[in-house]
Amino acid sequence: NLGDIDSCIQDLIDLTEDYKQLEATHKDYTVQLEQLSELQTKCVKNLSHQRYRLGIIKSTLKKYSVTVLIKPKDESEKEKFELLNKDLMRRQAQLNEMEESLPKKSGTYLKIILGSVNVSFLNKQERFKYKDDYEKFKLALSAIAMGLSVTNLIANLRILDLAFVFLMVWYYCTLTIRESILRVNGSRIKGWWRAHHFISTALSAVLLTWPDSTTYHLFRHQLMWFYVYISFVQYLQFRYQQGCLYRLKALGERHDMDITIEGFHSWMWRGLSFLLPFLYLGYFYQLYNAWALYQLSFHPGSEWQIPVLSFLFLILFLGNTLTTSMVIPQKLRD
Amino acid sequence: NLGDIDSCIQDLIDLTEDYKQLEATHKDYTVQLEQLSELQTKCVKNLSHQRYRLGIIKSTLKKYSVTVLIKPKDESEKEKFELLNKDLMRRQAQLNEMEESLPKKSGTYLKIILGSVNVSFLNKQERFKYKDDYEKFKLALSAIAMGLSVTNLIANLRILDLAFVFLMVWYYCTLTIRESILRVNGSRIKGWWRAHHFISTALSAVLLTWPDSTTYHLFRHQLMWFYVYISFVQYLQFRYQQGCLYRLKALGERHDMDITIEGFHSWMWRGLSFLLPFLYLGYFYQLYNAWALYQLSFHPGSEWQIPVLSFLFLILFLGNTLTTSMVIPQKLRD
Ligand SMILES: CC(C)(COP(=O)(O)OP(=O)(O)OC[C@H]1O[C@@H](n2cnc3c(N)ncnc32)[C@H](O)[C@@H]1OP(=O)(O)O)[C@@H](O)C(=O)NCCC(=O)NCCS
Ligand SMILES: CC(C)(COP(=O)(O)OP(=O)(O)OC[C@H]1O[C@@H](n2cnc3c(N)ncnc32)[C@H](O)[C@@H]1OP(=O)(O)O)[C@@H](O)C(=O)NCCC(=O)NCCS
């Protein structure tokens, strides 16, 4: 018994050796942490100063750009002008690259939801992992939504309907948070897709308040089929986005750029042209929902939810169609 | 004109000086960032190893604790045993302190909502600021809730009712996120208060689905008064929590501990005994809601929401009363 206590004491003494080392490492760490935060503040400050002064130069140049380009006094003026512009562009690209390893500020929405917590990643791998997670999260929730909406088509339980719609509120709300984090970390996700998820949250919230009435039952089947279809499209989208993500990552790691960028583009166009018909079909389904709800709003037992939902579906149809249609010419230009 | 371009060029050349410096600082920064992340990983690994081995020693000791303490072979055995225990406690406290400046892992809930983003603060000031923000956020939303519920008592617009309830869903949901972040950063907030906010989210969601029926109108007034009262209690709570927070901060910064800790305790008890009657009144209001809803569930037009809400209010009453009542003896012991 006493022997056991002695062996415990011996163990603790052994551990103390390791602990001493850990203490030293930790001391080093805290000192460096302090230094790093100073360097960071300095970089952020100087960078924003550079940005500010570049901005002034650019706006001065802009004022003269029309006269210089249309009727330059001489060739040398035009040349100088173009050279200067190129220099400015290069400098700005350099600053952008620097910014990648510096913390970025959250937008208002994130500040309200999360408070002043720093959500920026300081390196590429973490950023990649985050995006990858985001896509997988969407896929997992689409699978669940598919399962629930099929169940709802077979069964007809009010409570299950509500659980499904509440899941949708939660899902779209979570998406807006994750997308804001992606945005802070430099994703070029278009404003519309984020707006889309805000509108979808609102739409689901309105659905949640729609009572269990005759009109609801007239629309219920169409709604559940819509979610089945959307979940399926989500799966196709996942395949496409995941493909882009991994190929772009591989591109960034290898350096034989010429061949692979072409490879990437051809893959992307194939993926896109496979995906687009399914997307447009989905958008027409949204238009069809808007139309059906519009018709339903003349039903004698119509609730206020019906015209509101009709309007929201119409907005979704318009926004999606416009945004997706604009992506194609934009990608052709790049 | 040409002169302007020349002066722009001169400006850019001047800027380049600064830029070179920034580049050097940034280079330093990235090197240090890399080093820091290595040190960090090392600390985290060694720390968890220390924890693991301390755990083994502790569990070995525990096996013998009964025999040693009740019928020790001799005094020296008991002494050794107690000394060892003290050493273990001290070591654990040291490890805890070290952990404060290391990143902590998020729990499952945060991982699902936010994905793998790191939400831990590495220093006290940031942690303090975050908590301060959290309290102010609650206050601001209580004020809005108060305004809306008073408006709802005067006006009687279905859409405003729903907007209010939807705000509550969003508010409680946001609280659960912020509280999870606080928890990651070492707040000792009790499990019940977090559960309380999850249950309140569910309760509001159920309220959202309650149709605009006779029974709803029978209960509506009482509900809005409840929220008016709760918002008022929130304000009192804010004063108390904010007082604790700032006093504890001041305590941590000064070092004449003996006087101020006593001062803090006397302040805390005064604050608490002012607050408690209002809290218990709120809890009885919850019980009263549960009771009124239970009665209402026998109404001919009763919906499924009514017994569910009654049950949820009952749970809130029980959990709040128990937890708050347990806080008092616990604080007396400290
Ligand atoms: C049309 C589409 C395939 C083009 O995708 P793309 O090739 O990635 O488009 P872009 O090059 O403009 O993408 C820019 C960024 O936005 C992201 N993005 C594009 N569409 C997105 C969407 N719908 N949701 C989230 N992120 C999106 C991309 O991943 C990319 O991110 P990155 O900067 O971090 O790499 C895509 O926008 C899409 O799938 N849209 C359909 C969405 C939809 O309609 N949903 C409703 C279902 S009916
Ligand atoms: C009873 C009460 C006043 C005690 O507060 P306290 O003195 O801070 O209690 P503790 O010492 O146990 O607090 C431990 C931690 O939990 C936090 N905490 C306590 N109650 C909390 C609550 N209701 N919400 C959020 N955080 C809370 C404290 O701020 C403290 O945080 P820290 O570790 O970051 O410093 C407090 O729990 C309270 O206000 N409860 C009532 C809440 C309520 O009933 N709400 C419904 C309205 S009817």
Domain boundaries, chain B: 2-102, 123-333
Q: Is B187 on the interface with A (CB under 8 A)?
A: no
Contact A117 B115 (CB under 8 A): no
Residues within 6 Å of ligand 2 by CB: B 131, 187-190, 193, 230, 233, 237, 240-241, 244, 275, 279, 282, 320, 324, 327
Nearest by CB to B174, from A12, A28, A113: name it.
Answer: A113
The label of the residue with tokens 């993500």 reads A245
Whose Cα sits closest to atom 35 in ligand 1? A187
CA distance B171 to B163: 12
Determine, for residues A114 and B178 on separate chains, whether the beta-carbon distance falls below 8 Å: yes
pLDDT tens, position by position, A203-235: 999 999 999 999 999 999 999 999 999 999 999
Mean pLDDT confidence for B190-214: 94
Confidence at residue B255, expressed as pLDDT on a 0 to 100 scale: 58
pLDDT band at A287 (very low <50, low <70, confident <90, very high): very high
> Is the minimum distance from the CB of A189 to ligand 1 under 6 angstroms?
yes
With a CB cutoff of 8 Å and minimum separation 6, the contacts of A128 are A245, A249
pLDDT averaged over every residue in chain A = 90
The interface predicted TM-score of the complex, written ipTM, equals 0.87
Q: Does B11 touch chain A (CB under 8 A)?
A: yes
Distance (Å) from the alpha carbon of A81 to chain B's nearest alpha carbon: 7
* Residue in A5, A170, A212 nearest the CB of B80: A5
Are the C-beta atoms of residues A87 and B12 closer than 8 Å to each other? yes
Euclidean distance between CA atoms A194 and A200, whole angstroms? 10
Alpha carbon distances (Å) from A102 to A108, A161, A270, B306: 19, 45, 36, 52
Task: Report whether pLDDT(A82) > 90.
Answer: no
At B9 the pLDDT is: 85
Q: Whose CA is nearest to atom 23 of ligand 2?
A: B193
Q: Does A214 touch chain B (CB under 8 A)?
A: no
Over pLDDT 70: what percentage of chain B?
96
Place B259 in a pLDDT band, splitting at 50, 70 and 90: low
Per-residue pLDDT reduced to its tens digit, B104-130:
988 999 999 999 898 999 888 889 999
Chain B partners within 8 Å of A49 (Cβ) = 18
Three-point CA angle A31, A35, A37, nearest 5°: 120
**Which residue puts its alpha carbon closest to atom 6 of ligand 1?**
A241
Q: Which of A66-80, B47-61, B226-240, B287-301 has the lowest mean pLDDT?
A: A66-80
Name residues whose C-beta falls within 8 Å of residue B13's C-beta, 6 or more positions apart in sequence.
none
How is B111-132 classified by DSSP, letter by letter? Answer: HHHH-S-----SSHHHHHHHHH
Contacts of A94 in chain B (CB under 8 A): 19, 23
Task: State yes or no: pLDDT of A122 exceeds 60.
Answer: yes
Q: What is the B189 CA–ligand 2 centroid distance (Å)?
A: 6
Q: What is the pLDDT of residue A239?
A: 94
Contact residues, B window 224-283, toward A, CB-based 8 Å cutoff: none
Q: What backbone phi and psi angles, to 5 degrees, belong to B107?
A: -80, 175
User: Which residues in chain A are closer than 8 Å to B173, comparing Cβ atoms?
Assistant: 170, 173
Answer whether A267 contacts ligand 1 (Cβ < 6 A).
no
DSSP A304: T
Burial label for A191, CB within 10 Å (0-12, 13-18, 19+), is exposed
Collect all residues with Cβ–Cβ distance below 8 Å to B109 and sequence separation of at least 6: B176, B180
Q: Which residues of A touch B88 (CB under 8 A)?
A: 12
Can you spell out the DSSP letters for A48-112?
HHHHHHHHHHHHHHHHHHHHHHHS-SSHHHHHHHHHHHHHHHHHHHHHHHHHTTS-----HHHHH
Residues of B in contact with A73 (CB under 8 A): 1-2
A202 touches chain B (CB under 8 A): no
For residue A237, what pLDDT band results from cuts at 50, 70 and 90? very high
Q: Do B21 and A115 touch (CB under 8 A)?
A: no
Q: Does A79 touch chain B (CB under 8 A)?
A: no
Residues of chain A with Cβ-Cβ distance to B99 below 8 Å are none
* Atom 32 in ligand 1: residue holding the nearest Cα: A187
Are residues A175 and A197 in contact, defined by beta-carbon separation less than 8 angstroms? Answer: yes
Please say if the pLDDT value at position A130 is more than 80: yes
Residue B211 to chain A, least CA–CA distance (Å): 6
Distance, in Å, from the CA atom of B294 to the CA atom of B309, rounded to the nearest integer, reads 9
Identify all chain A residues contacting B170, using CB atoms and an 8 Å cutoff: 173
From B281's Cα to the closest Cα of chain A, the distance in A is: 30
Cβ within 8 Å, pair B77-A47: no
- pLDDT at position B318, please? 97
- Residue from the list B6, B209, B212 with its beta carbon closest to the beta carbon of A162: B209
**CB of residue A279 inside a 6 A radius of ligand 1:** yes
Nearest residue on chain B to A89, alpha-carbon basis: B12
Contact (CB<8Å) B12/A116: no
Closest partner residue to A211 (CB to CB) among B61, B114, B211 is: B211
Q: Does residue A197 line the site of ligand 1, with CB under 6 A?
A: no
| Closest approach of B305 to chain A, Cα-based (Å) | 10
Q: Is residue B257's pLDDT more than 60?
A: no
Q: Under an 8 A CB cutoff, do A54 and B81 touch?
A: no
Asked which of A24-28, B44-48, B120-124, B141-145 is least confident by mean pLDDT, the reply is: B120-124
Q: Which of A295-309, B45-59, B260-274 has the lowest mean pLDDT?
A: B260-274
Mutate which of A136, A241, A273 to test ligand 1's pocket (most atoms within 8 Å of Cβ)?
A241
Q: How far is A55 from chain B (nearest CA, A)?
A: 11
A35 at interface of B, judged by CB pairs closer than 8 A: yes
Give the mean pLDDT of A28-48.
93
Q: How far apart are the first and last CA of chain B?
A: 78
Is residue A275 within 6 Å of ligand 1 at its C-beta?
yes
* Rounded Cα distance, B239 and B241, in Å: 6
For ligand 1, whether the C-beta of A323 sits within 6 Å is no
What pLDDT was estimated at residue B2? 58
Of chain A, the percentage scoring pLDDT greater than 90 comes to 62
Question: Contact B324/B283 with Cβ under 8 angstroms?
Answer: yes
